[in-house]
Amino acid sequence: MQFQLSDELIQNLEILIEEKNDAELLLLLEEVHPADIAEIITELDLDEATYIIKLLNSEKTAEALMELEEGVRERILDNLSSKEIAEELEEMDTDDAADIIAELSEERQQSVIAEIQDEEHADNIVELLRFDEDSAGGLMAKELVKVNENWSVTGCMAEMRAQAENVTRVHSIYVVDDKNKLKGRLSLKDLITAPSKANISDVYIPKVDYVNVHTPGDEVARIMQKYDLEAIPVVDEMGRLVGRITVDDIIDFIKDEADRDYQMAAGISEDVEADDSILKHTRARLPWLILALLGGFISVTVLGTFEGAMEQYGALFFFVPLIAAMAGNVGVQSSAIVLQGLANNTLRGSLMNRLVKEVGLSLLNGVVLAVMLTLGGTYLLGFDLIYGVTVGISLISVIVIASLIGTFVPIILDKQGIDPAMATGPFITTSNDIFGILIYFSIAKAILGF
């Protein structure tokens, strides 16, 4: 039953666009969901995409535009007049419209807003543009259903019918007083099961979760997830109901956050997509590579101080990348566990317990790997046993230290109020490389005596 994008469909559409066969195009796309229209548009070239957007009615294309990736959308909007963009915005919820407008140039914003016919809609959009995009104010939509606590259930049903026309989905009905202050909520279910003679003030639920326009987006996401909310009302500084945030926006927010964390761990500091420009990629990636290079300078220096070992124990240098790789991998593993624990708020117990556990875990792993390394180095690679034993003992120490660094650096950063997500990927691998090599050669020096 699901829509499937096929090369055949795209070719078919391209021919119809070429022929300007509007009737056939409309027929073909009539039953297609806007989210699927967005997928189709991404496959077409810019002129074809613009042709489709102009051909279909705004109700459908408005939603399709929202589903597009920012880069594709930007190019299409560049091809539309301010009036055409305004028509699309009229069909969107205020939060989506504000997000789109925010992507336009300052100048374009004004001319588009001036073209919006529905003045209240335009007002609402302008209001939303004032908030930081990652705050509750920036995430909320103005569309919601609210009733006055002094109304009757019957009167309320009538009013609801009118208001609900403008709201895509009714999650909760919010109850306000005469000053528009949020008093509580009411579900549609409560409303239809309430005696029709009752007053709203008799049946509403006075306990309602809400956030302030300035609440950060990740806090909103946390609250909505924790309490399984499908929508949350937003109040202003005076406690007046000014908007609501729905769960679909929060799903996008959660996905974006997860993508960002993943990229951060891979040493990518800006939100980039595969199709972004080389310059944007360089800006996101180069800083971390420079950090790794500077760390590399330190490891070169450290190795240089052990130059004296080269003549008699040159083979020690062959094991350097192995030791560095193990230190890096162990550090990344430990930091990933701690970072997820911090993010999901599941990190409990004292630091001492964590220390004992991490040392136990890394000793266990370290001994297994050291035995493999000693045996492998001696019998597989054919080095003298003394090398195998030396690198084996070093490996245990390196793994223990690397796992402690991976565990405690993020915890310490977090306690200092610094984003602990910094402490993974390139940062942890680079510092663990340096410490790993230093420990390795210090132990080798102690054992072999050079």
Stretch 215-254 residues interacting with a copy of itself (CB under 8 A) = 223, 225-228, 230, 247-248, 250-251, 254
Q: Is 281 in the site for a copy of itself (CB under 8 A)?
A: yes
Binding a copy of itself by CB under 8 A: which of 138, 377, 392, 410? Answer: 377
Tokens of 294: 């500077």
Q: Is 185 in the site for a copy of itself (CB under 8 A)?
A: no
Q: Are 424 and 339 in contact (CB under 8 A)?
A: yes
What does the DSSP assignment read for 115-176?
Answer: H-S-HHHHHHHHHHHTS-TTBHHHH-BS--EEEETTSBHHHHHHHHHHHHTT-S----EEEE
Q: Closer CB to a copy of itself, residue 17 or residue 438?
A: 438
Q: Of 427-446, which residues contact a copy of itself (CB under 8 A)? A: 429-430, 433, 437
Q: CA triplet 358, 362, 364: central angle to 5 degrees?
A: 120
Binding a copy of itself by CB under 8 A: which of 303, 389, 422, 448? Answer: 303
Q: Closer CB to a copy of itself, residue 21 or residue 262?
A: 262
Give least dist CB 401 to a copy of itself, A: 15
Tokens of 352: 């001492």
CA distance 366 to 428: 18
Q: Are 234 and 137 in contact (CB under 8 A)?
A: yes
Q: Is 346 in the site for a copy of itself (CB under 8 A)?
A: yes
**Residue at token pair 């560095």:** 324
Give least dist CB 214 to a copy of itself, A: 14
Edge-first strand listing for the sheet containing 211-212: 211-212, 231-235, 241-246
Binding a copy of itself by CB under 8 A: which of 332, 396, 409, 439? Answer: 332
From 21-29, 81-89, 100-108, 280-288, span contacting a copy of itself (CB under 8 A): 280-288
From 78-86, 121-129, 134-142, 162-170, span contacting a copy of itself (CB under 8 A): 162-170
Q: Is 347 in the site for a copy of itself (CB under 8 A)?
A: yes
Q: Closer CB to a copy of itself, residue 142 or residue 354?
A: 354
Q: Of 380-419, which residues contact a copy of itself (CB under 8 A)? A: 380-381
CA distance 119 to 116: 7
Q: Of 94-153, which residues contact a copy of itself (CB under 8 A)? A: none
What sections of 232-309 are H helices per DSSP? Answer: 247-265, 278-305
Give least dist CB 107 to a copy of itself, A: 30
Q: Are 335 and 428 in contact (CB under 8 A)?
A: yes
| All residues at 6 or more sequence positions from 257 whose CB lies less than 8 Å from its CB, including other chains | 218, 221
Give least dist CB 301 to a copy of itself, A: 6
Compute how many residues bind a copy of itself; rule: CB under 8 A: 118
Binding a copy of itself by CB under 8 A: which of 109, 333, 374, 378? Answer: 333
Q: Is 379 in the site for a copy of itself (CB under 8 A)?
A: no
CA distance 364 to 356: 12
Q: Is 183 in the site for a copy of itself (CB under 8 A)?
A: no
